[in-house]
Structure 1
Amino acid sequence: MTEPDLMGALTGDAEVTALFTDAAWLDRITRVEAALSLAAGDAGVVPAELARQAADVVLGFRPDMAGLRDGMAQDGLPIPEYTRQLKAAADPALRPALHVGATSQDILDTALMLALAGLNDRFDAAVTALDSALADLSERLGQQPLMGRTRMQAALPIRAADRLAAWRAPLPRHRERLAQLRPRLERVQYGGPVGLRGGPDGRAEGDAIADALADRLGLHRAPDQWHSARDGIAEYAGWLSLVTGSTGKIGQDLALMAQAGEVALSGGGTSSAMPHKQNPVGAETLVTLARDNAGQVALMHQAMLHEQERSGAAWVLEWLALPRMLSATARSLDLCQQLIVRIQRMGEAG
């Protein structure tokens, strides 16, 4: 277990953090390798019984974690050492059904997609819940008068419902975008050493394994590998930033409304030096997370620049930026909903 992160209590998300622990990665790697053995049997590349026995060995295998960490430092990946240990522990007769035709990137990218598929279910539900919370707030306080402001200056009177409608407007579009991009994102990765799925002579077998692997893991089939074509992940990063941009806009408006005395929230932050203050900590955090995600998108676009058939540098850059974006998005959606339900008044105090 990792130690609690004091600063992460403000900007982090425990569920996302848990998805990227050694234990969580190992669990997904195990699922992928076991499914790959079974997929090879489904495709007729190895006998079905041999595939079943190999999958059982994978599911029961417990690697030496110290060896994996040493291998990671040497190879830049955990999979070479993992497969070395796995094959050494298995009956030699089962080795043809282990890690069949795969490269390290096939295993890790597919393992990542397993994590994202579950997380995207959560994101979809969270956007829906935020939209509902805003609808409830509009029903409760929407008729309260507000001063409309353009370029941060008083303009003309509006209702609270008018501002809330602007906050809600992108949310259905975010759900629609996510539904559209998920089949492009949550795809199996299977290409082999240089992306040929077994080459001209073995391509049909490789395609059959890839399809069976996707089906067994509940991922979308991929007509080809995407080792160096990272547009799906880059598109997804853009979606994450769009979501936090929307929650960040809500946070910024709430912070400005708090400054003008136009909103009252329960449970504001306190000051160590000025006890009379109630700081809009949650609203400020939404702004921070939105800006951070906007910066991370640039890194994810940099990570599209893979050299030739595979890049170590660009791929590892994804590992740094994407978990951070996922955590920021999860935290923003939860925090934004919490803030909305805590609003007790909109408009000037009567």
Structure 2
Amino acid sequence: MSASPFSSPLYARLFGDAELGRLFSDTAEIRAMMLVLGALAKVQGKAGVIPEVSGAFLHRASMELQIDPAALAQGVGQNGVSVPGLVAALRKALEAPEHAAWLHWGATSQDIQDTGLMLRLRQALGLVEARLVAAAGALGRLAEAEAETPMAARTYGQVAVPSSFGALVAGWGWPVIRAAERLRALRPRLCVSLSGAGGTGTMLGPDPAAIRAALAAALGLADPGRSWHAERSLIAEVAEACGAAAAAGAKAGEDLLILTRSDVAEVRLAGGGASSTMPQKENPVAPSVLVALGRFSAAQGAALGAGAAREARDGAAWFTEWLVLPQLVMAAGKSATVLAEVAAQVAPDRSAMAARLADPLGLIHAEALSFALARAMPRPEAQGEVKRLAAEARATGTPLPRLVAEAHPGLALPPLEGRATLGTAPDEARAFARAAREIGDGQGPTVNLD
């Protein structure tokens, strides 16, 4: 297997995501940090912290120069961070020592790298959100179309009561909407980092807060109003939101792995995977990917939350973010893409669903029968009576509704088939479909960092 299936040519169609992968490439990281360095020089020049002509020169050069990430590798291995090597490479490439001396004035490596990460996250989270919205839309259309398709609801893996397939789909879709909403709320809060070596901003000029605010405005990011070198709650929120997106896909995947089983077969998926030896099989590959991404994200999130950052800055906590956060974003984005595809491939087998509802013993109606009986006796006694009769139905092969009617001839039995047995299930499906249509508003522009 590959060290990273997200970037493996072999697994590209299963886990790969070229669009998001570009944002977490070395090239995109270097480009983002160069944009930060240039913007910082420009705002410092305008504020008189450095010569204005040097600020303008450095800003323009940051958008024109190209730095090879591989050329910085040795320095990263030694320093544990890429900014010192990047700054040295830029100063050399500028061939203007009178301006180069003002590059990276008063900032620290973490300021540049974290702010560059925010630029990339702004675009990446926008992509993931848009995919979640698309998945919600596909699920909403499915839920609305199947709002009154009757099927058995299951609890603890057991047939429980009548419901509708549309209501089940709505149960897949609501977490998708919630994940999209979380990402939508997070993106405007992505903020710059600018507080210098120890978080005090001492070398940034006479008014570090004003420089930070100006940098935020120049980059279109939020101003945090403080140092967050060792206060990583925003990173944790991004990780949690991405984990929630993958978990939403995993919920649908888990249910589809059950519904597509040979012994259940209530749902078919177009384009199932082939077996190397069993020609009859159509394996549920896409639902399996959804479940795997959900499990992977849970494990990655646990690694990120294993410990708080120490002191004013913490290299170990920071390095852990580098290992974990890109993978979480990639997993969330891939999960949303696969979920939208799956929603378009799902085909309920209505006859199989109807056959399960039409179980000759009628045990699926036990709850309704117990509540009907509770009109004639205390509720605990009614439940105990129906439980006893259900056991008799299994033992004798006699339908439960008949046993209840014979044991209690004066009892008015509730409807045991048709729309009346579905309760609010159709309404649940249609309510989700409406919400899925509404979540589609508010997509914002992105910035190209390629």
In structure 2, how many angstroms separate the alpha carbons of the residues matched to 1:6 and 1:99? 41
In structure 2, how many angstroms separate the alpha carbons of the residues matched to 1:222 and 1:30? 21
- The equivalent of 1:258 in structure 2 is 260
**Runs (4+) off by over 4 Å:** none
Aligned residue for 2:260, secondary structure, equals helix
Which of 214, 218, 243 lines up with 1:216 in the alignment? Answer: 218
- The equivalent of 2:115 in structure 1 is 110
In structure 1, how many angstroms separate the alpha carbons of the residues matched to 2:67 and 2:177? 44
Deviation (angstroms), 1:305: 2.2
TM-score, with normalisation over the residues of structure 2? 0.73
Gaps (5+ residues) in structure 1?
none
In structure 2, how many angstroms separate the alpha carbons of the residues matched to 1:280 and 1:67? 44
What is the number of equivalent residue pairs in this alignment? 345
- The equivalent of 2:400 in structure 1 is none
TM-score, with normalisation over the residues of structure 1? 0.92
- The equivalent of 1:236 in structure 2 is 238
2:199 partner letter: G
CA displacement 1:144-166 (0-9 Å, x = unmatched): 22111110011112111111221
Q: 1:169 to 1:54 in 2, by over 3 A?
A: closer
Which of 226, 229, 233 lines up with 1:227 in the alignment? Answer: 229
In structure 2, how many angstroms separate the alpha carbons of the residues matched to 1:121 and 1:296? 21
Q: 1:161 to 1:66 in 2, by over 3 A?
A: closer
Deviation (angstroms), 1:182: 3.0
Equivalent residues of 1:42, 1:212 under 8 A apart: no
Q: Is 1:35 aligned to residue 39 of structure 2? A: yes
Matched residues, percent identical? 35
Deviation (angstroms), 1:18: 1.8
Which of 321, 326, 338 lines up with 2:341 in the alignment? Answer: 338
Which of 307, 311, 323 lines up with 2:314 in the alignment? Answer: 311
- The equivalent of 2:146 in structure 1 is 141
Equivalent residues of 2:290, 2:338 under 8 A apart: yes
Which of 129, 140, 147 lines up with 1:124 in the alignment? Answer: 129
1:77 partner letter: V
Q: Is 1:173 aligned to residue 178 of structure 2? A: yes
Equivalent residues of 2:23, 2:124 under 8 A apart: no
1:44 partner letter: G
- The equivalent of 2:78 in structure 1 is 74
CA displacement 1:186-226 (0-9 Å, x = unmatched): 10011111111126xx6652212211111111111121121
- The equivalent of 2:103 in structure 1 is 98
In structure 2, how many angstroms separate the alpha carbons of the residues matched to 1:150 and 1:118? 40
Q: 1:189 to 1:127 in 2, by over 3 A?
A: same
In structure 2, how many angstroms separate the alpha carbons of the residues matched to 1:195 and 1:301? 22
Q: Is 1:22 aligned to residue 26 of structure 2? A: yes
Aligned residue for 1:97, secondary structure, equals coil
1:311 partner letter: D
In structure 2, how many angstroms separate the alpha carbons of the residues matched to 1:147 and 1:156? 6
Aligned residue for 1:11, secondary structure, equals coil
Q: 1:274 to 1:35 in 2, by over 3 A?
A: same
Aligned residue for 1:10, secondary structure, equals coil
Q: Name the larger-Rg structure.
A: 2
- The equivalent of 1:84 in structure 2 is 88
Deviation (angstroms), 1:65: 4.3
CA displacement 1:20-41 (0-9 Å, x = unmatched): 2221112112111111111212
In structure 2, how many angstroms separate the alpha carbons of the residues matched to 1:142 and 1:63? 56
In structure 1, how many angstroms separate the alpha carbons of the residues matched to 2:221 and 2:232? 17
Q: 1:15 to 1:262 in 2, by over 3 A?
A: same
In structure 2, how many angstroms separate the alpha carbons of the residues matched to 1:250 and 1:189? 38
- The equivalent of 2:303 in structure 1 is 299
- The equivalent of 2:393 in structure 1 is none
1:264-283 counterparts in 2 under 5 A? Answer: 264-283=268-287
2:300 partner letter: Q
- The equivalent of 2:168 in structure 1 is 163
Equivalent residues of 1:146, 1:348 under 8 A apart: no
Equivalent residues of 1:29, 1:111 under 8 A apart: yes
1:11 partner letter: F
Equivalent residues of 1:12, 1:331 under 8 A apart: yes
Please provide the CA RMSD for this pair: 2.0
1:112 partner letter: L
1:82 partner letter: L
Equivalent residues of 1:263, 1:348 under 8 A apart: no
Gaps (5+ residues) in structure 2?
1-5, 355-450
